[in-house]
Amino acid sequence: MTLSQDFPTNTRVSTDSFPVNPAKSSWFVPLGRSPEPIPVPGRNCTIRPDVSLSSMTSFRVGGPAELYVAPRQVEDLLASLEWAETRGLPITLLGAGSNLLVSDRGLPGLVISTRHLRRIEFDAETGRVTAGAGEPLPRLAWQAAERGWTGLEWAVGIPGTIGGAVVMNAGAHTSCMADLLVNTQVFTLDGSVDRLTPADLNYSYRTSALQISSQSPPHQVRLVAQATLQLQPGADPAKVLETTTAHLNNRRTTQPYHLPNCGSVFRNPTPYKAGWLIEQTGLKGYQIGGAQVAQRHANFILNCGGATATDIFHLIQHIQETVEQHWSLLLEPEVKMLGEFQMA
């Protein structure tokens, strides 16, 4: 799960984290003192300063979080949110980090990782499964297949979490989260809880009402804690596993997974495929620094070794400009850009 940020359709990049309450005093370290871990009041949870985020994103780039916490329980998450809100700190939520480009300068305020908020509950009577926000989508897909439950075969190759999938309306092979979601439990920054259905989320292609801009007021921020999906039990597990494996093999043979990347960089502009548009401009293999447009699939950018977030950012810009000049069409990024970037 990431903070619900999105790009307006007429812009090239979004580079802010979300300010919770700028009017309140901010966390700071007195001059001459090194930052120390901070216990979250009343919880067995610690906020750590100056934590590198590069290993927590699939691009393997990005600077440090000013402050970082990885709660293991929903109550820890809420307490961390309250701690940051009372200090007026920006908050960024980080799931699997598979759809993010984090600035080389890092992120201000508190970064909350949801990767430990994992749980899966299968209800055989209803055919529903409930999963925590930090649960990896591929693991859920495999567990469903092993039980002979159909509906998630398409998700096995998507390297994200349930929380991020709900926010992004993740999908593949003509299926998506909107087809399966029964409801999702969300929190607001003041700690209130709500349960939303697909009708509440205004789902469309790779978007939902949970994606907001960094200019949105705090009361509009809703953080996914868990989601319930409707699957179909009763199938032969061997056949479901076979289909799931076929989906995974298809992704592995058509998309580059041998080097760090974020998956699809741009949304597909109907009726075209972003990869095809990029390929037709001759950009396959084009490289800036250590960042390269993949030869196997042009809608992927690879970290070929030593790439920086700035390299990737500038390559995204170059692709947009080239495609726009060639096709009079502006590609909209699917990858979320967090932090400060400078235009090339």
> With contact defined as beta carbons under 8 Å apart, do 93 and 168 qualify?
no
What is the distance of C-alpha 222 from the center of its chain? 15
- Phi and psi, residue 167, nearest 5°: -65, -45
CA–CA gap between residue 144 and residue 81 (Å, rounded):
32
Residues 6+ apart with CB under 8 A from 2: 92, 93, 94, 95, 99, 100, 163, 164, 167, 336, 338
Residues 6+ apart with CB under 8 A from 28: none
Could you tell me how many residues make up the chain?
344
CA angle, corner 261, sides to 256 and 263, nearest 5? 75
Active site residue 206: yes
Active site residue 334: yes
- State the catalytic residue, choosing from 66, 264, 267, 332: 264
- State the catalytic residue, choosing from 128, 206, 222, 267: 206
CA angle, corner 191, sides to 224 and 137, nearest 5? 15
> With contact defined as beta carbons under 8 Å apart, do 155 and 213 qualify?
no
CA–CA gap between residue 101 and residue 60 (Å, rounded):
9
What is the distance of C-alpha 36 from the center of its chain? 28
- State the catalytic residue, choosing from 66, 135, 332, 334: 334
CA–CA gap between residue 250 and residue 157 (Å, rounded):
9
Query: Both tokens of residue 207?
Result: 């978007």
Residues 6+ apart with CB under 8 A from 162: 1, 131, 132, 133, 134, 135, 137, 140, 224, 226, 227
What are the residue numbers of the active site?
A: 206, 264, 334
